[in-house]
A and B are shown apart, each in its own frame.
Chain A
Amino acid sequence: MRSNVTALAATLAALALPSLSAAQTFELFGSDGAASRHESPQNFAMELRFSPWQPMVDSEFSGSGGGPFLQYFGERDGNGVRTAVRDRLLGALELDWQALRINPIGSLGLGVSVGFSSFTANAPLTATPSRDSGQESALVMVPMSAVAVLRLDVLARRTVIPLVFYGKAGVAASYWWITSGENLARRSAASPSAPTNNAGDFGQAAAGLSYAWQFAAGAMLRLDWLEPRAQRAWDLEMGVNHSYLFAEYMIVRDWERPQLRFGSNTWAFGVAFEF
């Protein structure tokens, strides 16, 4: 039930986005006195994000030797033992509606994001698991999130310090699928036996949805001071008020439910634009 409610909320939020394009930012505690008269209205932020990514799939499993994620995607040492999984790149795009301007300290808004990451390995032969075949199997993930975003930009707007601090909290979901060769993986009666609900997924494509809580905190370096004139021209022509480089620490905590876990603690880096 909880997943249905969350999904419904995400759906409504997404469906509302087109109307947000016409939305304005509401202001709290008077008007934004720091904004230049020549500056265009600022309602949104967009982030292009990159993270080293490694989902904690194996947190579902206990015991020594690591779980199936390590045993499948881990790097082999000189003795052929899989020791660690190398992080993969997670690329994502986030769009925030800076719905409420809290003068003079910052803004509170709603952000939605979608990303992509994948892990690929050569599938081992069933009869001799220590030997890899020429066929690849991949775990592909499309993490999405809906978060509340608080950006504290008072320093950047009122002082010479070009820093904006921010925090995010919300829900995340990841659509995932697993491939076998060129096709989606499917279990059959010939597959290795599963200890629970063995035949329950025979014939079904290996694709699913997992949920998590997501928290993040970070800092953004406003780049306007590098080329103030260029930024002003960009605002005039494109409506982009400010551009940033940012670094963020992100915590994704899986929900306690039967699901493929995709949670991770990681850094994110990227560029952001307010417009």
Chain B
Amino acid sequence: MKFQGALIVGLSLLASEASAQLLTPVRVGAETAVDAARPLGKLDCLNNSVRIQVNYTGDTTFNDLQMWIGTDAMTCATATSRTSTTAATCWQIETSTIGGSRSSYADSNFQIPARYLIDPVGDGDCTSPGTLRGTVATNYLSLIVTTSAGQNMVGTALAIPYDLNPPDVPTNVTAVPGEGAVTVSWRATTTTSSTTDDSGTSTSTTTASTDLAGFYLLCTPPAAGDADAGTDAGTVSGLDVPDLTFGDDAGTSSTCPAFSVSDAQLYDTAFFNRYVRGARTSASATSATADNLTNGVPYRCVVVAEDNAGNRSVSTSSQCVVPLPVTDFWERYRESGGAAQPISCGARPGARTGALLACISLVATAVALVGRRRRKP
């Protein structure tokens, strides 16, 4: 048994020496919330860095590690391809743009701005790939090391898939007021495809979008506490309360804040965080509620769709709505003379013994049902 163990260790060492300087880059996430598995999107391209970890074996001496991005896995393997011209298919990522230490293989976590992985031509607007090679494609990150034999690609190129196509724009956006809240509804985003058969008859098919992560609600004026809160809100005077919407009554439309969001603002983190209300909904959601709003203040909202790569598209704005007090069923019941008084399962002053016992009985029943074991004869 000891002999077997020694043999395995010895073979492992031999294998390690044989594969010295074999480097393999691995995408292990980004500085700012980029899941290592999903394609990079426009939000990443404009804002995020991707963290690359180089797995290596053998010698830890660092020999001028370079990173190149190519259009397929082997493009950067040949020296003649590594030209970095606009007509090339392999570009070097400038050393100065790579974050992290490159002093030795032992310290091999690098941060690379996502735009250099997606848009290596380097204009930084994340649109060039659209004319260069399409908005949905895969680039490959190769590692080039200088050795005594010259510059060579080592290890396996890392696939960097990207998708810069925005999701379909949410349509039919409407808003209704609540108490300190606005509920916004929209039509589920769909993709329409059309086919024409041999007879020339065209058939249009509408299907739900599959590349969709969810929706955000952005409303103006921004949340209280923001430096600009309220400054772009319209005046409340002149509100026609029974109709609740601006724009459908003469003389009131000018009091409502306008709200249009540009494509650049969609990816401007500061702007987005300032106006966003609540967390992202599910992909299947068709409505969301912005709450903690101020009653009597007019609001206008837009719906932002986000796909799985982080690309965004924005709807036109909703009509203007004014949150106002509502009457919930409890208030209506008590207003009508209902005699029931509230109690609680919580052991707080005023909670009646009977209610507490009943609450305990409910819990005990559940526990008993779960814990019961059927005894077989």
Contact = CB atoms under 8 A, between A and B. Distances in A.
A7 B343 CA distance: 14
20 contacts: A14-B361, A21-B375, A72-B332, A93-B369, A123-B329, A129-B327, A133-B183, A134-B181, A135-B181, A138-B329, A144-B362, A173-B358, A175-B359, A185-B330, A187-B331, A191-B331, A193-B335, A201-B342, A204-B342, A207-B342
Nearest to B336: A68
B281 to A, nearest CB: 14
Interface stretch (B10-18, B44-52, B170-178): B170-178
Interface in A1-37: 3-4, 6-8, 10-11, 13-15, 17-18, 20-22
A11 B333 CA distance: 30
A55 to B, nearest CB: 12
B374 A275 contact: yes
Nearest to A193: B335
A56 interface: no
A253 B179 CA distance: 36
A61 B364 CA distance: 35
Contacts of B358: 7, 10-11, 144, 173, 175, 209
A103 interface: no
Interface string B317-334: 000000011111111111
Nearest to B291: A181
Nearest to A257: B339
Interface residues of B, number: 59
B328 A13 contact: no
Interface of B: 175-179, 181-183, 241-242, 244, 289, 291, 324-345, 350, 352-355, 357-362, 364-369, 371-377
A134 B178 contact: yes
A131 interface: yes
B330 A206 contact: yes
A108 interface: no
B335 A192 contact: yes
B178 A181 contact: yes
A181 B338 contact: no
Contacts of A124: 326-327
A89 interface: no
A67 B182 CA distance: 29
- The SS class assigned to the A binding surface is mixed
Contacts of B352: 3
Nearest to B174: A134
A209 B368 CA distance: 21
Contacts of A57: 333
A2 to B, nearest CB: 9
B357 A137 contact: no
A178 B351 CA distance: 17
Given A11-B358, A196-B337, A135 B330 contact: no
Given A60-B338, A133-B179, A196-B339, A185 B365 contact: no
Contacts of B368: 14-15, 17-18, 20
B277 to A, nearest CB: 13
B361 A10 contact: yes
A14 B327 contact: no
Contacts of B353: 4, 7
Q: Which of B177, B183, B362 has the most CB of A within 10 A?
A: B362
Given A11-B360, A134-B289, A185-B331, A123 B345 contact: no
Q: Which 10 A-B pairs have the closest CB atoms?
A: A135-B178, A134-B183, A134-B176, A17-B368, A258-B339, A180-B328, A7-B357, A206-B330, A185-B330, A14-B364
Interface string A59-73: 011000001110111
A190 interface: yes
Nearest to A120: B329
A196 B340 CA distance: 11
Q: Which of B182, B373, B375 has the most CB of A within 10 A?
A: B375
